[in-house]
Amino acid sequence: AQSVAQPEDQVNVAEGNPLTVKCTYSVSGNPYLFWYVQYPNRGLQFLLKYITGDNLVKGSYGFEAEFNKSQTSFHLKKPSALVSDSALYFCAVIGAAGNKLTFGGGTRVLVKP
Amino acid sequence: GAVVSQHPSWVICKSGTSVKIECRSLDFQATTMFWYRQFPKQSLMLMATSNEGSKATYEQGVEKDKFLINHASLTLSTLTVTSAHPEDSSFYICSAQQYLASVGETQYFGPGTRLLVL
């Protein structure tokens, strides 16, 4: 069975500082990894995904994520956080054999001005 | 591109009535759509996989007679909550799967439908 862990329920960061949201996964075979962001009372917006190739993936709104196979991690990063980045972030994985997304529990990001 | 809509965005109904939620992929065709349920401050729980032209595949513990799914076209899937009860109150989110040769399959999500059953 595949699983995703987001160890931090909430991350607080000052505007302009680097932002990191952690994610580790467990899956059989090669993973497809995703990051989504959810604003209050809204659906999920796709940020980026990793399929294969370069371990550093660049996505929307200046976000990027680094795939680390040995640590089974896919941490989301942004060099300089904005107040508008405050939202709920979900990491998700699909195993190579299927098409079902398994989500982590979510990490709430609060960027303070 | 890759826009998914849901209608209605919110609905309040009386206990015992049925509610239909529509999920549409606006600028792409989706042979596969998914229905999720999200409880407050929790992650998304996959309810079922909706395949165009065939029966939906339900996750364990999800009552297929309670949550009827129809995927009649490549751009529309509907979820009907039959004989709704207060415990069915939740935020329901759909996604539509798009395939591109360059990036493979990606799920794009609708804005969600908040259901309140009185």
Question: Using H for helix, E for strand and C for coil, what is the string for chain A?
Answer: CCEEECCCCEEEEECCCCEEECCEEECCCCCEEEEEEECCCCCEEEEEEECCCCCEEECHHHCEEEEECCCCEEEEEECCCCHHHCEEEEEEEECCCCCCCEECCCEEEEEEC
Helix (H) or strand (E) holding B31: none
Place of tokens 């932002």: A19
**pLDDT in the model for residue A97:** 64
Say which of A49, A100, A106 has its CB closest to residue B46.
A100
Whole-angstrom Cα distance, residue B16 to residue B78? 19
pLDDT of residue A96: 65
Count of beta carbons in the 10 Å neighbourhood of residue B111: 18
The correct answer on CATH 2.60.40.10 for the domain covering A3-112 is yes
Chain B neighbors of A42, CB-CB under 8 A? 111-112
Amino acid at B4: V
pLDDT digits (tens, 9 = 90+) for A71-89: 999 999 999 999 999 999 9
What does the domain layout of chain A look like in residue ranges? Answer: 3-112
What does the DSSP assignment read for B56-84? -EEPTT--TTTEEEEEEETTEEEEEE-S-
Q: How far apart are CA A53 and CA A57, in angstroms?
A: 9
- Mutation pick from A30, A101, A107 vs chain B, by most beta carbons of B within 10 Å, is A101
Instruction: Output the pLDDT for position A80.
Output: 97
Interchain pair B106, A34: CB under 8 A: yes
CA distance A2 to B7: 31
pLDDT in tens, chain B (118 residues): 689 999 999 999 999 999 999 999 999 999 899 999 998 878 889 999 998 888 899 999 999 999 999 998 999 999 999 999 999 999 999 999 998 877 788 899 999 999 999 9
pLDDT tens-place string over residues A18-74: 999 999 999 888 889 999 999 887 888 999 999 888 899 999 999 999 999 999 999
In this complex, which of B4, B95, B104 lies closest to A51 when CB atoms are compared? Answer: B104
Query: What pLDDT, on a 0 to 100 scale, did the predictor assign at position A64?
Result: 97
- What's the full length of chain A, in residues? 113
Sign (positive or negative) of CA dihedral A60, B96, B112, A105: negative
Q: Return the pLDDT at A47.
A: 94
Per-residue pLDDT, A104: 94
pLDDT at site A73: 97
Residue A61 token pair? 């709104």
Tokens 């798009």 correspond to B98
Report CB contact under 8 Å: A46, B106: yes
